[in-house]
């Protein structure tokens, strides 16, 4: 089994620094055959990529994980896998019953006795019931139903507010890439001071940050931006500096990749993995449709040199500041 670097979250759970993202089985990235997806997961685990990220709202993702996990449990000497899920409720009552029901639903779908990690999302900061929900989640953690209590898409101000109430948060899942470096502005410092790991998404821009788009004319139509990720991150590229600057970034990354004998995706992943407070990078996997296991395994071993970083910075310095244009982490979900 390949040596994939690990990180231990503050509640004790050890996860891979490269995680497998399952939004890609939700249906928003093209049709998915759940049986094929379950079968495809074995190759990730065999490669040492044992940590899977999903959500209650990613279509059949939790069930797919559950089926795979059920098969593993009945096998002899099966490797341990980690299932990180999210709870993304619509704003509404957040009493203990509501919260417990959501946790039990994920446990049952994922076929686990307790959740390895529950990442909580909230749509509207005006509605302060996120604090009530987190209070109950923290109690359920004390009761042993959740190992790591975590967040996704919370900004630094609310993360501070939550932590100041004595709620122990292990990680915050945020968008972080060469295009979107907002987490470095504020979030990073707070996370470092409070032993909170950032788990990142969008690090490959849904596939835009790869050789596939080097030298390509700008994709604009829905037919070209045919997954939810491609259209989401193409919007970020537009806000960041546009297609011409993005092409300069891709060719710079390609030159770095060629120096290291690796891929553009490897450079983009390693750049983010090397940032302070980043615990892991989640790479989206169209399970059973398109796999990049062997290439992505190389990411962790790339050693970016000062001249590589200098060349990359030369392009990034000419981009717009997304903190000013969009706001802090997760603000794009609240506008
Ligand atoms: N918390 C949140 O709000 C949130 C939001 C978005 C995502 N996420 C999480 O983050 C995960 C990552 O998803 P994402 O949407 O951000 O996408 P991403 O990881 O930036 O991009 C994933 C896509 O990149 C391509 N790719 C992967 N490895 C590659 C390689 N080595 N070379 C070339 N291309 C490669 C694949 O495209 P093809 O399949 O076309 O080959 C893959 O589908 C999701 O599954 C989810 O778990 C969380």
Q: What confidence category does residue 136 fall into, taking pLDDT thresholds of 50, 70 and 90?
A: very high
| Atom number in ligand 1 closest to CA 86 | 1
> In sequence order, what E strands does 144-276 have?
146-152, 171-175, 197-201
Structure pTM? 0.98
First-to-last C-alpha distance (Å) of the chain: 44
Please say whether the dihedral angle defined by the alpha carbons of residues 309, 238, 280 and 267, taken in this order, is positive or negative: negative
pLDDT at 1 over 50: no
Write the CA distances from 272 to 58, 253, 316, integer angstroms: 24, 13, 14
Task: Please identify, by atom number, the ligand 1 atom nearest to the C-alpha of residue 23.
Answer: 45
CA angle 179, 230, 255 (to 5 degrees): 50
For residue range 148-170, what is the model confidence (pLDDT) as tens digits?
A: 999 999 999 999 999 999 999 99
Kindly list the protein residues whose Cβ atom lies closer than 6 A to any atom of ligand 1: 21-24, 53, 152-153, 173, 201-207, 210, 229, 263, 265, 282-284, 286, 290, 292, 295-296
pLDDT in tens, 271-318: 999 999 999 999 999 999 999 999 999 999 999 999 999 999 999 999
Q: From the CA of 119, give the closest atom in ligand 1.
A: 1
CA of 286 to the centre of ligand 1 (A): 8
Q: What pLDDT, in 10s, does the model give residues 306-320?
A: 999 999 999 999 999
d(CA 26, CA 277): 29
Reported as type and span, the H/E element at residue 294 is helix 293-297
In this predicted model, what pLDDT tens digit does every residue of 41-63 receive, in sequence order?
999 999 999 999 999 999 999 99
Q: Is 247 helix (H, G, I), strand (E, B) or coil?
A: helix
List the one residue out of 332, 333, 328 whose CA is nearest residue 182: 328
């Amino acid at each position: 089994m390949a040596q994939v670097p690990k990180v231990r979250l503050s509640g004790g759970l050890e996860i891979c620094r490269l995680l497998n993202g399952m939004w890609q089985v939700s249906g928003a990235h093209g049709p998915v055959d759940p049986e094929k997806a379950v079968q495809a997961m074995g190759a990730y685990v065999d490669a040492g990529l044992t940590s899977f990220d999903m959500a209650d709202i990613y279509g059949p993702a939790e069930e797919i994980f559950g089926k795979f996990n059920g098969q593993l449990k009945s096998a002899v000497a099966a490797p341990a896998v980690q299932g990180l899920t999210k709870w993304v409720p619509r704003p509404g009552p957040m009493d203990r019953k509501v919260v417990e029901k959501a946790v039990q639903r994920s446990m049952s779908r994922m076929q686990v006795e307790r959740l390895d990690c529950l990442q909580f999302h909230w749509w509207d900061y005006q509605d302060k019931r996120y604090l009530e929900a987190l209070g109950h989640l923290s109690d359920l953690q004390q009761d042993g139903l959740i190992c790591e209590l975590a967040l996704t898409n919370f900004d630094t101000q609310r993360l501070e507010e939550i932590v100041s109430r004595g709620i122990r948060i292990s990680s915050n899942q945020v968008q972080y890439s060469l295009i979107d470096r907002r987490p470095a502005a504020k979030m990073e410092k707070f996370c470092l001071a409070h032993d909170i790991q950032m788990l990142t998404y969008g690090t490959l821009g849904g596939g835009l940050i790869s050789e596939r788009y080097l030298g390509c004319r700008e994709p604009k139509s829905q037919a070209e931006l045919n997954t939810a990720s491609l259209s989401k991150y193409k919007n970020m590229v537009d806000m960041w500096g546009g297609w011409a600057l993005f092409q300069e970034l891709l060719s710079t990354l390609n030159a770095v990749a060629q120096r290291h004998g690796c891929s553009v995706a490897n450079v983009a992943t390693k750049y983010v993995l090397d940032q302070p407070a980043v615990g892991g990078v989640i790479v989206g996997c169209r399970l059973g449709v398109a796999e990049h296991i062997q290439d992505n395994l190389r990411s962790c071993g790339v050693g970016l040199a000062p001249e590589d970083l200098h060349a990359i910075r030369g392009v990034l310095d000419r981009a717009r500041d997304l903190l000013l244009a969009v706001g802090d982490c997760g603000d794009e979900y609240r506008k």
